[in-house]
């Protein structure tokens, strides 16, 4: 824990990092931009992945399973609107946990892209995810303490060391997605002064980004 704390404090005290993290543009739009980029990556990964075992959804043809996953990745922020309808905190918590669990299941289900799709575009997405994850860890250290970030970093490093790099990346991917959607929703709620408008806007942003990623995935597999 102590080495992690030393590194975290060193980064937080760096003048360039403080100048970047306190920039009004980053504070106001940084999380939303990150969510947009992650959503583009989601669309790209879903299209570029070779899904050999489609999701078995009753009464739904297997050949449209990827399309259904894309739709879910676009509308999952709407899980928070349950509170607007039912005004029940317990139901809201259950809805959020359920939607995140389904999201995690889909991330685990999606295989890695085919080798033909592993191009500089994928490396750029990979680099962005890693940098964003480092920023998220530092942000959580400043606001929530070092215990949880240190544990997550240790767990991911362990997975990578034992040869499970793909699962380590999926944890990074999932963490980035969940954190950015939460922070983006808060930014939009403050900017629009409306919770339901914020969730609808977040869904629209995710849908547009997923569509862009889907098209980019098509070019990657050509």
Count: domains in the chain:
1
14 in a structural domain: no
Domain that holds residue 184: 2-7+29-48+60-220
Q: What is the mean pLDDT of the chain?
A: 76
- Contact by Cβ (8 Å): 50, 175: no
Question: Residue 54 falls within a domain, yes or no?
Answer: no
The answer to whether residue 93 is domain-embedded is yes
Burial degree of 171 (CB within 10 A; 0-12, 13-18, 19+): middle
**Whether pLDDT at 14 is above 70:** no
Any domain includes 135: yes
Burial label for 185, CB within 10 Å (0-12, 13-18, 19+), is: buried
pTM reported for the whole predicted model? 0.79
Give the residue, 80 or 63, on which the prediction is more confident: 80
Q: Would 210 be classed as within a structural domain?
A: yes
Residue of 29 and 154 predicted with greater confidence: 154
CA distances from 167 to 12, 172, 210 (A): 29, 9, 22
Identify the pLDDT of residue 126.
85
The yes-or-no verdict on residue 4 having pLDDT over 50 is: no
Structural domain contains residue 33? yes
Task: Select the highest-mean-pLDDT range: 65-74, 114-123, 151-160.
Answer: 151-160
Per the rule left: phi > 0, alpha: psi between -120 and 50, beta: everything else, 103 is alpha
Least confident window among 49-53, 100-104, 190-194: 49-53
Distance from C-alpha of 34 to C-alpha of 22, rounded to nearest angstrom: 16
Beta bridge partners of 109: none
The residue among 142 and 12 whose pLDDT is bigger is 142
24 occurs within a structural domain: no
Residue 20, in any domain of the structure: no
């Amino acid at each position: 824990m102590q080495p992690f704390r030393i590194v975290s404090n060193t980064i937080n005290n760096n003048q360039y990092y403080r100048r970047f993290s306190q920039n009004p543009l980053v504070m106001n739009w940084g999380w939303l931009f990150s969510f947009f980029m992650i959503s583009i990556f989601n669309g790209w990964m879903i299209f570029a992945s070779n899904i050999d075992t489609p999701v078995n959804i009753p009464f739904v043809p297997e050949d449209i399973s990827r399309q259904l996953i894309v739709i879910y990745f676009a509308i999952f922020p709407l899980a928070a609107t349950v509170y607007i309808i039912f005004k029940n905190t317990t139901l809201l918590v259950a809805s959020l946990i359920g939607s995140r669990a389904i999201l995690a299941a889909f991330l685990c289900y999606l295989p890695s892209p085919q080798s033909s799709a592993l191009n500089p575009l994928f490396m750029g997405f990979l680099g962005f995810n890693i940098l964003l994850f480092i920023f998220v860890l530092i942000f959580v250290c400043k606001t929530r303490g070092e215990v949880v970030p240190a544990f997550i970093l240790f767990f991911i490093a362990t997975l990578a060391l034992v040869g499970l790099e793909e699962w380590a990346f999926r944890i990074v991917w999932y963490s980035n997605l969940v954190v950015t959607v939460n922070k983006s929703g808060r930014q939009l709620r403050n900017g629009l002064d409306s919770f339901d408008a914020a969730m609808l806007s977040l869904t629209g942003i995710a849908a547009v980004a997923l569509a862009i990623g889907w098209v980019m995935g098509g070019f990657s597999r050509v």
